[in-house]
Amino acid sequence: MEVMMAWAPVVKEEKEAESLDGEGHSGRIEKNPLEDDRLESARAEMGEVKRENERLKATLSRIMKDYRSLQTQLSSIVPQEQDKKPLEKTDSNSEREESELVSLSLGVVRNGEVERTAASTKTTEKGEVMINHEGLSLGMDCRPTEDDPSSWSREKSPEERKEEEADAGELPWPPSKVLKTWRPGDREVPQQSIHGKTTRVSVRARCDTPTVCTHHLRPMNDGCQWRKYGQKVAKGNPCPRAYYRCTAAPGCPVRKQVQRCAGDMSILITTYEGTHSHPLPLSATAMASTTSAAARMLMEGPLVSRQQNPASAMAGLHVPIISFPGDPRQRRFPLPNPSISSSLSHTTITLDFASPPSSAYWPYSAQTCRLPSNLPSPSSFTFSPSEANPSSNPFSSSGHLSFGVQEYDDQSQVARLFGPGRRSQDPFRSQPDSQNNTSSHPLADTVAAATEAIAADPSFQSALAAAVTSVLGGQEALLQKLRWGEQFSPVSPFEPSLGENGYAGSSYLTRSNSSTMNPQQGDVLRPLQTSTSAFWGPKNGYASPEDNSSWEHS
DNA sequence: CGCCTTTGACCTGCGC
DNA sequence: GCGCAGGTCAAAGGCG
């Protein structure tokens, strides 16, 4: 349990304090005023810690209770879903069912209206509000509606796809035969474990390096080691496609393809396939931790504002959410225009960083998105690239990008952001709201800034894809570890230690000291260094792939 | 010398 | 079955 892991140090601290207290009584031979003072202060501190611990325990028990409640609801929902499916088109049954349902109009509020997504709830005998499958997916469901033809995940006709492909001037990867466009509302989340399909993650990133069409494509540095094993000129694209294999570990099945977009040579398309059979280098896992939630969110579905979502607000559900602005209608997301397609053999997730979102597309002040319901505990992720100046680049300003995992209790907490790597007295304390109110939509703006920064950093994009593949590969445990900084030095989190590739990676993420942590804020992970120059160090003499600037100009 | 990239040949899957 | 295109292999050469 993450929360327990997070609080373990507190308990330990308490025990140590008690031990100290005991020694203080038994070991005292003669009174020393100075020692008394220290003892007193230690006792006071211990009492504080105890109180803190009590609060944390209370919060934990509440979270556990909520979690079990959610689990119970989920387990009761899943059979309902299975039962319901064959009945969907059975009028009599569905009508009868319908009469017991409280229909809700859910979705994105726009112009005072609510975009409807199919969702309904039902009150059980116990008076609990049960959300049926579609209700559960309400935060994830973004099905196109008739009045919303621009829904980003809408099913496209073959003609439309052809047009898009032709427009992009490239062939899709996987090659053609896109049978189905995955919609975030779909329950069959594409994962490698599903139906034996392999999952590919494709990243479209703008790379302004003046390599119009290089025949020496070099992969973006994403923390992994790649060996080129082939190159092929694909039909319809004058630029060759380069094939790389992960060499970070022998036998690692991960491969990636790098190709420039025929339509726009400044766009680089990197496609990853497979799951690393080895732990990702810390430089990659740091990114992975940042992006894992986003990746999972991407897999699970898009967003609906909790604020504007009556179902999530009801019944006191402590539903995990992601603070994550976006307007599905505009296909604008903090995550770049994600789309998922599936072929017979594999599913491809495409992250389009080439067209970074603009804050103008994020009209909501606190758009939130629910995390996948299968996360192990209630938690909320806040992608928080905010500085006081929301328009500032979250990387360039300080070289730090914060992200957090926090238990939320109310909406205000959801909206709280952490400063990006701020070394204040209590860097993990939420920024005062006033700081976030420098614009009317601080979250939207700051995330927009972050996204733009991401879009400007191919390395990050590449790492994101690596992260996504890792997530798809079921490395949830690793991600959980990352969330809580398990992998990092518990003694001195700020002290760098060499990673397996010589990275001083363990300092990239740290966990906040629990004694300075506001229990209401939860634990916070943050990368200490995410500036690209510090983040991506060369691993060996063949470091050219690590440096985009070394791309050969043709 | 070891590891990398290059590159032509070969393999495989799919559509016609 | 044939042709096409994507993907992979492996020998050759380059580089540090």
Residues in A 231-270 whose C-beta is less than 7 A from nucleic strand C are: 231-236, 241, 243, 255, 257
Is the separation of the CB atoms in A257 and A244 below 8 Å?
Answer: yes
Higher local confidence (pLDDT), A64 or A75:
A64
- Would you state the pLDDT for residue A528? 28
Domain positions in chain A: 200-299+336-353
Residues lying close to strand C (Cβ under 7 A), chosen from 437-456 of chain A, are: none
Beta strand A180-182 with A339-342 is antiparallel
Nucleotides of strand C lying closer than 7 angstroms to a protein CB: 4-10, 16
**Percent of all residues in chain A with a pLDDT value above 90, rounded to a whole number:** 0
What is the pLDDT at residue A132? Answer: 36
Per the prediction, chain A carries an average pLDDT of 47
CA separation for the pair A404, A383 (Å, rounded) = 7
Give the sheet arrangement for strand A321-323, strand by strand: A368-370, A321-323, A380-384, A402-406
Helix and strand tally (H, E) in chain A? Answer: 13, 19
What letter represents residue A465's amino acid? Answer: A
Residues 335-364 of A with CB under 7 A from strand C: none
CA dihedral of A214, A218, A221, A222, whole degrees rounded to 10: 100
Q: Which of A505, A152, A419 is nearest to A298 (CA)?
A: A152
CATH among 3.40.50.300, 3.10.50.40, 2.40.160.20, 2.20.25.80 for A200-299+336-353: 2.20.25.80
Render pLDDT for A224-247 as a digit per residue (tens, 0 to 9).
778 888 888 888 878 888 888 888
pLDDT band for position A354 (cuts 50, 70, 90): low
Tell me the pTM.
Answer: 0.40
Q: Which nucleotides of B are covered by protein (CB under 7 A)?
A: 3-9, 14-15
pLDDT tens per residue across span A99-123:
333 333 333 333 333 333 333 334 3
A3-21 confidence digits (pLDDT tens): 333 333 333 443 444 344 4
> Protein A539 CA to nucleic acid C16 C1', in Å?
14
